[in-house]
Amino acid sequence: MKRYKLENSIVRFLSVFTMIVLFYSRILIASDQDSSSSFALVLSGGGARGLAQIGVLQALHDAGIKPDIVIGTSIGAIVGALYCSGISPDSLQSLALSINWDELFSNTANRKKRFVSQKTEPGNYLMELRFDYNFKPILPRAISYGQSFFDFLAPKLASAQFQAKDIFDSLSIPLRIVATDLLSGQRIVFSRGNLVSAVRASCSVPLAFSPVDFDSMLLVDGGLTTNIPVEYAREQGFKKVIAVDVTSPMWKKEELQNPVKLVDQIITIGLANQKETERSKADILITPILDNYTKTDFKDIDSMISSGYRATQEKMDLIRTVLHDKVFELRRKEPLLPAPGIIEEIEIQGNKRTSARLIRTAAAIDNGDTLTGELIQRSLASVYSSDLFENVNIEMDSLYRARIMVEEKEYWRMRMGVRYDEFHLGEGFIQPAYENLLGMGICAAVHLQYGLRREKYALDFQGNHLLTSNFANHLQLQFYFSKEKIIKREIFWNDTGSDSISLHEKNLRKNGILALLGTQFGKSVLLSGGMRIERFKVQKSDNSVFSDAFGLRSHQSLPYFMLKLNFDTMDKYPFPFWGIKHSFAMGATSRALGSQSDLVKISGSLGRYFTFAKRNTILPQATFCYSNTQLPEVERIYLGGAIPEGRYKDMSIYNYVPFMGLPPMGLSGDILGLFHLEYRLMIRKGLYTQITGDWGYTWERERFQSKTAMNQFIRYAPIGVGIGLSWETILGPVRLSYGQLVNSFRHQGIESDGQLYFSAGHDF
């Protein structure tokens, strides 16, 4: 222990000594320079077009020219902060090409960073409204909270910020970041403080990203006051100013249906005169040719960077003349060296209601750790994936204190959703909830769903008890009652003649309690076990579900013990491109517990998504179920329809398996074998066409014989094929498909006519 403290003290001394030497060397270098020859490089805003400024930096770098200060707005603040922190233009280009820029507008954590229990609850709602603690509605201020900026920038800027001690003049190149105070309308220029927060504020495009609360100010995009901050450079006494203008032209009429673009257009019109004034005050104005690019077009980054390089090269002779060659070498400064940053203390800030222990466990940061960029990246992703915060940031100050800064959500919320399909028809739900019970991240929700063919009402408690950032216990407790129309199929077997089949549509009513306790390994495996105590009744009556809410008049009860194992690595849902989705379940009950029979049931599904050539996705999947006796209605397998496999439905009919060419719930049984193959082509982003094939069969347990099962499957199993079109919309996925049985199945009472399927909205 003493040796560790001694080594830590030595490392601290060397780090501080190095920073002091570098800091004073920069002062001495700066004092030797002729102030009249120093120059400021101004990087403008412009959205995606701003990446052309990387090419400008590359051209200056190749010429041996380094600015005395960089002043950036919006995207210029991002490029400038990375460059001034010691990242070379070459590395900046590689970084820009590796980023999924579209994810910057995402408001949710990366699915791969979430626990399996969280992956089963995607955004299956149409609208969400949050409330403060006085139950006053809180309208969203923007599309995104902007957490992606912290995820992207914090790991890359942490070392430079730590060594510069939050003073932007102490970076490899001095830096200024321009933002706008929404309350006063004034230009705000950052010269010190948290570097990532400053950049985040400068990039807060109205309606796209939420404003940043800072020292009684509400900060938004610097472009609202000065998109090309040349005037500020002049105010600071810089005699020579090189400015880059990558601001975009006006949006076209057909593009103004987007409210973000509409607001941007209004702002652009208001700042048009100021923009021309700023341009005129620059000694040299570099304007890359970007006529074919908009501020939201991140598709051809290489070409934009090349355009910036060419535009700078064309003016290189003028740049040399204005700046004077003799001073170029004097401006070369030592880049900031990576600091070890060994943590001595951890501080949590901003958690008014959330347990500090929960945050520290999720972050997985301990005293004695080295706060590297990789550790920051993992910690940010883990804490944000808890879904408890709008923003999460991590930094280290000069006292070797790691700060985990969180901005909590409003935890009271109401979700609403609607959907339609050809079987269930129209239905909708509302779901009030409190998402942070006891400050432990436990969500308490009331689910109220009504439809023309099914109803669900439940009180649900779910939570993850974090043991480490990659290991957690999962708890679910649910009280529910529901009603759903089913197709009850009765076959009257006749060994000497033709069998007779009777089909009836009836109501299945259920009420019960579900309790599950699970363990999550990593972010892809959930093992859970528990029991469901349920009473159910199949009837012709269409009485309200509330007429016997507690099941006192239900004739059958089912105390059911279960064990589940789920694997989920899908990159997105719905319409994943990569990943596996495997699920296995085993359940059992007994007469001794009040059941009608001694029952053991084993079921599972194995599927994997593959994508090639970016647009082509294939899903092979196998589904099976086996039981030792005839299943009660609530556990039977229902085959047919085109609604994709849902998440883990404990309130509805659990084994509802799609099958192209069969009507919804067209075939039921106790034992199942099914092979599914799907090919999906992405026509354009959010629009898909797919070809599907199904081959499967269900058996009644009393007619199943393992010795002849394979022959029966090959001989009798229907084959269904289908083609469909799917569209991702803000209302949820819209699907239209057509299915046809290849072989006749009339002997089972099922018509072989083609089936048309349609659904709109999320499956809930």
Residue 357 lies in a domain: yes
Rounded distance between C-alpha atoms, residue 647 and residue 598, angstroms: 28
Rounded distance between C-alpha atoms, residue 53 and residue 308, angstroms: 6
CATH number of the CATH domain containing 230: 3.40.1090.10
The whole-number pLDDT of residue 617 equals: 98
User: What is the number of other CB atoms lying within 10 angstroms of the CB of residue 417?
Assistant: 22
Residues in the chain: 764
The whole-number pLDDT of residue 125 equals: 86
Q: For 606-633, how does the pLDDT look when each residue is reduced to its tens digit (9 = 90+)?
A: 999 999 999 999 999 999 999 998 888 7
Residues 311 and 455 placed together within one structural domain of the fold: no
Distance of CA 274 to the CA centre of its chain: 38
Residue 113 lies in a domain: no
Rg of the chain over Cα atoms, rounded to whole angstroms, equals 31
The whole-number pLDDT of residue 746 equals: 61
Comparing C-alpha atoms, which of 82, 177, 166 is closest to residue 395?
Answer: 166
Which residue would you say has higher pLDDT here, 116 or 728? 728
Cα–Cα–Cα angle for 291, 292, 295, rounded to 5 degrees? 90
pLDDT tier, 649 (very low <50, low <70, confident <90, very high otherwise): very low
CATH number of the CATH domain containing 688: 2.40.160.50
Residues 390 and 416 placed together within one structural domain of the fold: no
| CA dihedral over 671, 677, 682, 687, signed as positive or negative | negative
Average pLDDT over residues 590-605: 85
Rounded distance between C-alpha atoms, residue 720 and residue 390, angstroms: 46
CATH number of the CATH domain containing 357: 3.10.20.310
Please tell me the chain's helix, strand, coil percentages from 3-state DSSP, rounded to the nearest 5. Answer: 30, 40, 35
Domain end position, chosen among 393, 408, 423: 408
Domain end position, chosen among 372, 391, 408: 408
Residues 285 and 229 placed together within one structural domain of the fold: yes
The whole-number pLDDT of residue 230 equals: 94
Point out the least confidently predicted range of 35-39, 68-72, 565-569.
35-39
Mean of all residue pLDDT scores within the chain? 83
Residues 156 and 92 placed together within one structural domain of the fold: yes
Residue 714 pLDDT more than 90?
no
The whole-number pLDDT of residue 560 equals: 87
Residue 1 lies in a domain: no
The listed range with the strongest mean pLDDT (328-337, 505-514, 684-693) is: 684-693
pLDDT tier, 195 (very low <50, low <70, confident <90, very high otherwise): very high
Average pLDDT over residues 33-48: 77
Residues 721 and 600 placed together within one structural domain of the fold: yes
The whole-number pLDDT of residue 490 equals: 61
Residues 448 and 505 placed together within one structural domain of the fold: yes
The whole-number pLDDT of residue 547 equals: 62
Helices 356-363 & 373-384, crossing angle to 10 degrees?
Answer: 130
Using an 8 Å Cβ cutoff, are 243 and 73 in contact?
no
The whole-number pLDDT of residue 6 equals: 47
Q: Is 690 left (phi over 0), alpha (psi -120 to 50) or beta?
A: beta
Residue 96 lies in a domain: yes
pTM score: 0.79
Residues 434 and 378 placed together within one structural domain of the fold: no
Residue 648 pLDDT more than 50?
no
Residues 159 and 273 placed together within one structural domain of the fold: yes
Q: Which residue has the tokens 């089972």?
A: 748
The whole-number pLDDT of residue 327 equals: 45
Which residue would you say has higher pLDDT here, 455 or 251? 455
Rounded distance between C-alpha atoms, residue 299 and residue 306, angstroms: 14
Point out the least confidently predicted range of 110-124, 125-139, 709-723.
110-124
Burial class (CB in 10 A: 0-12, 13-18, 19+), 10: exposed
Q: What is the token pair recorded at 227?
A: 């998109």
The whole-number pLDDT of residue 31 equals: 40
Average pLDDT over residues 375-379: 89
Residues 363 and 449 placed together within one structural domain of the fold: no
Residue 272 pLDDT more than 80?
no
Listed in sequence order, the DSSP H helices in 668-733 are 709-716
Q: Which residue has the tokens 């349920």?
A: 534
Q: For 77-116, how does the pLDDT look when each residue is reduced to its tens digit (9 = 90+)?
A: 999 999 999 999 999 999 999 887 777 656 666 788 788 8
Percent of the chain residues past pLDDT 90, beyond the cut: 44
Range of the domain at 348: 342-408
The whole-number pLDDT of residue 529 equals: 93
Q: For 311-336, how does the pLDDT look when each residue is reduced to its tens digit (9 = 90+)?
A: 999 999 999 888 875 444 444 454 55
| CA dihedral over 293, 294, 299, 305, signed as positive or negative | positive
Average pLDDT over residues 267-286: 80
Which residue would you say has higher pLDDT here, 641 or 580? 580
Residues 275 and 154 placed together within one structural domain of the fold: yes
Residues 428 and 383 placed together within one structural domain of the fold: no
Residue 145 three-state SS: coil
Residue 489 lies in a domain: yes
* Overall domain count for the chain: 3
Domain end position, chosen among 370, 393, 408: 408
Comparing C-alpha atoms, which of 572, 579, 540, 535 is closest to residue 555?
Answer: 535
Residue 183 lies in a domain: yes
pLDDT tier, 24 (very low <50, low <70, confident <90, very high otherwise): very low
Q: For 521-573, how does the pLDDT look when each residue is reduced to its tens digit (9 = 90+)?
A: 888 999 999 999 988 888 776 666 556 555 555 556 778 899 999 999 999 88
Residue 333 lies in a domain: no
Rounded distance between C-alpha atoms, residue 578 and residue 572, angstroms: 8
Residue 9 lies in a domain: no
The whole-number pLDDT of residue 34 equals: 45
Point out the least confidently predicted range of 35-39, 165-169, 236-240, 729-733.
35-39
Q: For 128-176, how does the pLDDT look when each residue is reduced to its tens digit (9 = 90+)?
A: 999 998 999 998 777 788 888 888 899 999 888 888 888 999 999 999 9
pLDDT tier, 178 (very low <50, low <70, confident <90, very high otherwise): very high
- DSSP secondary structure of 517-538: EEEEETTTEEEEEEEEEEEEEE
Interior/surface letters 177-189, b for 16+ CB within 10 angstroms, e for the rest? bbbbbbeeeebbb
The whole-number pLDDT of residue 293 equals: 87
The whole-number pLDDT of residue 675 equals: 95
Give every CB contact of residue 416 below 8 A, 6+ residues apart in sequence. Answer: 125, 126, 127, 128, 129, 428, 429, 430, 431
The whole-number pLDDT of residue 484 equals: 84
Residues 400 and 495 placed together within one structural domain of the fold: no
The whole-number pLDDT of residue 752 equals: 67
The whole-number pLDDT of residue 130 equals: 94
